[in-house]
Structures are given as C-alpha cells and as structure tokens.
Amino acid sequence: MDTDKLSSGTCAISRGLALVGDAWSALILRDASLGMTQFDQFRTSLGIAPNILSRRLKALTEAGVLEKRRYSERPPRDEYVLTQAGRDFLPILAAMGEWGRRYNGGGRALSHLVDDRTGQPIDAVVVDGNTGKPLRDTPMHLVMPTV
Amino acid sequence: MDTDKLSSGTCAISRGLALVGDAWSALILRDASLGMTQFDQFRTSLGIAPNILSRRLKALTEAGVLEKRRYSERPPRDEYVLTQAGRDFLPILAAMGEWGRRYNGGGRALSHLVDDRTGQPIDAVVVDGNTGKPLRDTPMHLVMPTV
DNA sequence: CCGAATCCACCTTGATACTG
DNA sequence: CAGTATCAAGGTGGATTCGG
C-alpha cells in the first residue's frame, strides 16, 4: 500500500490522509494560513530543503489545497495561496490538535486556531451536523471502503 | 524530520498526524469500530502482512488508541479494543472524509460514520465550540509550534 | 529569487517462512 | 491463533549543486 494507491483511491478519507500524512505539509498549511505565499518564505520559516519544499508545494497544489498563481511576468514569479479547500482543512487540523491535547498533551494550547477578527483562540470540535451535539460518547462505527 | 520526531514532538497536532499518516491505521480503526478485536480478524479483513499488522497494532496501542487486553490465559490470547481516545478519533476521520468528498469526490458517501443505535449515517462537521457555528468562511489562521 | 537535477543514506514496506 | 525473524526492494528525506 503506497502513497499513490492512497491518494488515488476511491475513499474520501484516504485523500485527506495522504495529505496530512507528511509532517511538512501541515506546517506549510500553517504558514500559508498566516499569509505566507512565497517559496523562500516557506523555506526560511521551516528550514526545509528546497527540493523537499518544491515537492510538497506541488503535491499540495495537485491536491487542490494550494493554488499556484503567477504574480509577476518579468521575472516570472509564482505565489502559493490557500484555496477554499485548504482553508476548510484547517479546522480538521485544529480538531486533531484538540484531540492530541486532550489525551496526550498537557493543558497548554500549543497548537490551535485563532480567529483573525477577534484574535481569540477557537476551540474546534466535531459535532453531528444534524443535532449539533459533540460526537463523544456516541456509539458509532466507521464505514470505509477498502483501499 | 522523521516519524520519531513527529510523534515525540511537543505539538499536539503532530501526534494525530503520526497516527493517521499511515493508511493501514485508519483501516484498523475502522475494523475496530466494527467490533473486531483479534489479530487474525484484522489480518484477513485487511489482507495485511502479519509483521506489518503487528507493528501497527503496537503503534496504535502505544499511541493510546487501542488497548491490549488478555482475554485468555491458557493459551495466552490478547485482544485489541478501542479506547476512549480511539473512539474520539473516529469523528476526526469522518470529518476528513466529508472534506475529501466535498472537494474531490463524487456525491457518494463512500466513507462515513454510522450511528450504532439508529443505523443512520452521521455527518461530521467541525464547529466553533463556543458559537456552535461551522468553521467555514471564518477568517482564521493556524498556530503550531515548529516540530 | 525560485526552483529542478543529482545523488545518497536510510527507513519502511511487504512476502515469506517459522515458532509457541 | 498470534505473532517473530529474515530479507529484498523500493520509496523518502535531505544536502548539495546547478539553471532560468
């Protein structure tokens, strides 16, 4: 079971998994959510090797999470901006952070979402879309096609 | 940046990432949510090599998502059951499924949560815990320590 | 400034065979 | 039934160097 099979699979979950399975990708999304757009901004912020960064940016772009946009023709310059899909992925990362903090971490909110308008931390919780109730202590099971 | 640094990092998100980064793990969690407990059940259900399965089960156990319990002394037999942390992780996987379906997939709900009591599919959405509003179209950014 | 091309070391997967 | 041992093959991260 390689990454190709993962991202090309028919399962919707597997596409998300293929995305965040890599550690750098989450950090790139973080920086992108902070407004970073340029190759070298990411590179210096993360201390990542340029070829790796290039590979990740391409993967994230192909996944539809980032969009590559040319903002200068001479010299040719591209920038990477979050798409709607990319912005929608942030809450999922945040929910994962809440989970990790609840069961493994200390009380410190080392990773979290911040509302741009208020500057206040957001606590991301996964709820049942119909009832609005948190999906905790709900007896349930996961249905997933075999990849 | 290797997996060790990921799972041992101080960042809460990274622990979740290290978990689901592997494709098998999600499938194991699915089967566990369906009530599977034994080694060979997982093995035949997934068609996974025994050494790989062993490794995954150990990792998931150490991550606190599964619990290894001895249910027979002679012969010694262990079973793996979801912990509370493991059950709480299912909605996150489901949310990832919703995301993948929205932006990449067709309309078919290939992967989703099912309520054990009603048998009805649950749609998992990430909301702001304070306002209860879905975290979409909310201007926000992610804060994360560098791994 | 933004990458692509090379190259290497390592890790991990996964098949198979074997044991208690 | 529940794993461990061994080993081959391939993928991945990363340093470095070079081109547009």
Distance between CA A142 and CA A94 in Å, rounded?
A: 21
What pLDDT score was predicted for residue A24? 87
Q: List the domain boundaries for chain B.
A: 23-83, 89-139
Q: Is B113 an interface residue toward A (CB < 8 Å)?
A: yes
Q: Which long-range contacts (CB under 8 A, 24 or more apart) does B30-36 make?
A: B30/A141, B30/A142, B30/A143, B30/A144, B32/B66, B32/B80, B32/B81, B32/B82, B32/B86, B33/A140, B33/A141, B33/A142, B33/B82, B33/B87, B33/B90, B34/A141, B34/A142, B35/A141
Residue window 14-73, chain A: list those with CB within 8 Å of chain B.
14-17, 20-24, 26-27, 29-30, 33-35, 46, 64
Instruction: Indicate the pTM of the whole model.
Output: 0.92
pLDDT band at B72 (very low <50, low <70, confident <90, very high): confident
Task: Going residue by residue through chain A, which has 147 residues, state the pLDDT in tens, using 9 for 90 and above.
Answer: 544 555 555 577 777 777 777 878 899 999 999 999 999 999 999 999 999 999 999 989 988 999 999 888 777 788 999 999 999 999 999 999 899 889 877 655 678 899 999 999 999 999 999 999 999 999 999 998 875
Q: Are A146 and A6 within 8 A, CB to CB?
A: no
Closest nt to residue B41, judged CA to C1': D1
The gap between A38 CA and D7 C1' (Å) is: 44
Average pLDDT, chain B: 88
Query: Which nucleotide is at minimal CA–C1' distance from A24?
Result: D13
Check if the beta carbon of residue A47 is closer than 8 Å to that of residue A41: no
- pLDDT score, position B10: 58
Q: What is the pLDDT of residue B96?
A: 92
CATH class of this structure's domain B23-83: mainly alpha
